[in-house]
Chain A
């Protein structure tokens, strides 16, 4: 395949640099809204749905989409949009299950949920998986960024007579250094607002390339008629070719990927945590999946589609054997003039940075909450009921972002061997998503799911997944729906189905047989033969280590039958060990933490019975009470009646200017009413967090 270099002009480089600097300045302006780590990570939980929806577009599109979907669009056609049009199936469970659970439980990270729902060990396992997931995603982001910028670069730089060759990994290291600086000083508010600009520019850039391309080939009819029939279908072939097929995409993307993105991507979850209410989060989710994703499918795939049409019309302009990962950049350069091309590349590069910053910000939140804090508690440097001083916590957050950025670059080495970013991403999803997906789903939606179920799913499931990776022909082929066997990257997509089957099976079996496991554990306790657990633990550890070595080093020392039998036995032992050692109170640890007790979760969030009466939004002027700093605000009796509110209910007050998207807003509690209609009395703390402007009208609405 032909590798492109040196495209673009000096004007394009100038646009790129100016754009980057503008974004950095724009982002840093919002740093003043970072009063504490709550603001730094969750933006003060105050934003409107449209701001969050736009931010999700920028985060979702930018990481890898332009490159990978244009590449697949060029090779396979409109079916490259499949991944953007199959996310609806899990939206009910997200909107009415996971979203309210994470908001009402006031967790600061997904692993924290697992400690409350299951045990500290469950938190540890999920922390490891989450960090791997996020760092892997950062790696994919860097790889894409490198591939996007590579065609602009010369083959080498001359420096005092020395030639420095431009390599993909070299470029990634340089990009990572720049991004690392940006992330370390940015906060969630800055990220959300830069995403608003970047998201808009991404949509403009992608649509611009698509429509210019249609015009270039002579209009819609000409475009449509140039393309082969099979190429215009919205789905790839059912089970072939190996590198892109419908059934594989269904299991890898519609099932594992959609859940991965919606339910367990901490970066995305933090976006929803930044919305002002659950209702607003639902609006953001619906708007994103229903409207933004179909538009995004055109934005990211359009470059590849018009490139194909140009390639059919005139192969000398775009050769059919061009490197697919370069297609978007090449076609953008052909269709846009100097300067505009710089704008297109700047929009992509900066937005790629925003995605990486989101993910590193999320990984940092997990590091601060789930690694640093538990270690300090374990070392007795911090008591369980206390938090690290904010200044120190911010320092830890910033240092961790540097470390996590470096790990993200190292992760690139795991994906760089794949022929396209699309396949690298698919392999990543298929491998890491299933155990976490099963853990989250069964944890949130099945109240009988126990810590033993979760731990067996993760440890036993991963061991069986490793065997699937080592023996794909024997274990995955029977369920692969006839997709071809590629010996280099076998069953990149269908491994998702195999991984799901093994994880779900272990989760269900351990939960169904939980009473029998408890009885067995009680027998060991009653007989006082605790020592019997030691060889069981030893055997289990050995089997898991052997499975890892067999998969990583591709060992042929042991037969599949032996490995499979011993892994299933070890999984049973994991279930027994977990049941034996982990203390679990099913009643207490499911209260408000599963979909079966959402109403209880709302009561716990509010601290008293929920007021479900639906009221109106009111407009008010604010007055400051200087001599008390309680977290209550006072409205008139009539305004409270309009809002259907009672003393003690939760209220959200915001600057009435809708375009601010809730930037100047605050959550509080209704205090005793007065009789000055149209006036709200606020305290100093509300003014500091809400940054309300003197004389500006506020709007207020009851939360619950």
Chain B
């Protein structure tokens, strides 16, 4: 059985490390009004951006579980 060091740690490292860059990006585009929540199109994109992060996280989590237990 692969250890935590080689299974879940890379997952945590990727989504915490990458998450810092991602959240900083989200804050910046809101703060600068580059993404303007008054516009319908921009509200759509806001949801897509957040969805994308959890979408990849879910795929990776599923693949780890499949590798370890299926």
Using a CB–CB cutoff of 8 Å, the interface residues on chain A facing chain B are: 78, 85-86, 88-93, 95-97, 100, 224, 229-230, 232-238, 246-247, 250, 254-255, 279, 282, 286, 289-290, 294, 445, 595-596, 598-599, 612, 614
If over half of A's interface residues share one DSSP class (helix, strand or loop), that class is named, otherwise mixed; here it is helix
Chain A residues with Cβ below 8 Å from B22 are 88-90, 92
- Given A238-B5, A238-B6, A246-B13, answer yes or no on A95-B67 (Cβ-Cβ < 8 Å): no
Residue from B2, B35, B67, B68 in contact with A96 in the complex, judged by beta carbons closer than 8 Å: B35
Q: Would you call A92 and B26 a contact (CB within 8 A)?
A: yes
Cross-chain contact A595 with B28 (CB below 8 angstroms): yes
Q: Which residue of B lies closest to A612 (CB)?
A: B39
The answer to whether B1 and A595 have CB atoms under 8 Å apart is no
| Majority SS at the chain B contact face | helix
How far is A92 from B23 in the complex, measured between Cα atoms in Å? 9
Which bracket fits the contact residues of B? 35 or more
Say yes or no: B66 contacts A232, CB within 8 Å.
Answer: yes
A238 touches B34 (CB 8 A): no
Residue of A nearest to B22 (CB): A89
Within the complex, the shortest CB–CB distance from A362 to chain B, in Å, comes to 25
Q: Please state if A230 and B6 are interface contacts (CB–CB under 8 Å).
A: yes
Per-residue CB contact flags for chain B residues 21-56 toward chain A (1 = under 8 Å, else 0) read 110011011001111000111000100110011011
> Does A92 lie within 8 Å of B29, measured CB to CB?
yes
Asked if residues A250 and B34 are in contact (CB atoms below 8 Å), the reply is no
Question: Do B2 and A247 have beta carbons less than 8 Å apart?
Answer: no
Q: Decide if B67 touches A233 in the complex (CB within 8 Å).
A: yes
Question: B residues near A, CB below 8 A?
Answer: 1-2, 5-7, 9-11, 13-14, 17-19, 21-22, 25-26, 28-29, 32-35, 39-41, 45, 48-49, 52-53, 55-56, 59-60, 63-64, 66-68, 70
Q: Complex formed: what's the CA distance from A234 to B60 in Å?
A: 7
Across the A-B interface, how many residue pairs have beta carbons closer than 8 Å? 121
Are the CB atoms of A90 and B25 closer together than 8 Å?
A: yes
> Could you tell me if A88 and B10 are in contact, using CB atoms closer than 8 angstroms?
no
Are A294 and B6 in contact (CB-based, < 8 A)?
A: no
Most B CB contacts (10 A, CB to CB) among A93, A234, A279, A598 go to: A234
With contact pairs A229-B2, A238-B5, A246-B14 given, residues A88 and B60 touching in the complex (Cβ less than 8 Å): no
Bound complex: CA A40 to CA B63 (Å):
43
CA distance A254 to B22 in the complex (A): 12
Closest 10 CB pairs of A and B: A246-B10, A235-B10, A232-B67, A92-B25, A234-B63, A89-B18, A96-B34, A96-B29, A93-B25, A89-B22
For A235, give its contact among B14, B29, B56, B70 (CB under 8 Å): B14
Extra 16 A-B pairs, beta carbons < 8 Å, given A88-B56, A246-B14, A250-B14: A86-B56, A92-B22, A95-B49, A96-B34, A96-B35, A232-B66, A233-B7, A233-B67, A234-B60, A238-B5, A238-B9, A238-B13, A246-B13, A247-B10, A250-B17, A614-B41
